[in-house]
Amino acid sequence: MAKRFAYLDGQKVPRKKAEKVQDAGGEPLEIVYVRKETLRAVWQKLGKGKDGNLNELTEDLLHRWLYEQEQHAQETRVQEQKQEQRDDARKAQERATRKKNRAFDER
């Protein structure tokens, strides 16, 4: 396997400093490595530009991934809040039980 894909085999690869490149919109660009076989397969499926645009597909996939990550984070927050509510209710029940037991012991 080529040196640049050595990280896929779990090897430590020293990272070069990314070049500071900006597109026409002024946004910084970052180099992304994609396997040639994957790119060729996608390009063939897209019909070499007839059925779509690789840039649009990539952006759509990244947006979908970001959306799914946000949904997952939100679901996790909701679950944590529900668990906190259950814990608070259990603690309140335990306090009430202890209070009843103390009142009964004092009689």
Residue 64 Rama label (left phi>0; alpha psi -120 to 50; beta):
alpha
Give the pLDDT confidence of 10-38 residue by residue, as tens digits. 776 666 654 555 566 677 777 778 888 88
Give the pLDDT confidence of 40-56 residue by residue, as tens digits. 888 788 776 566 677 78
Higher pLDDT, 94 or 35: 94
pTM: 0.46
pLDDT of residue 18: 47
DSSP 41: H
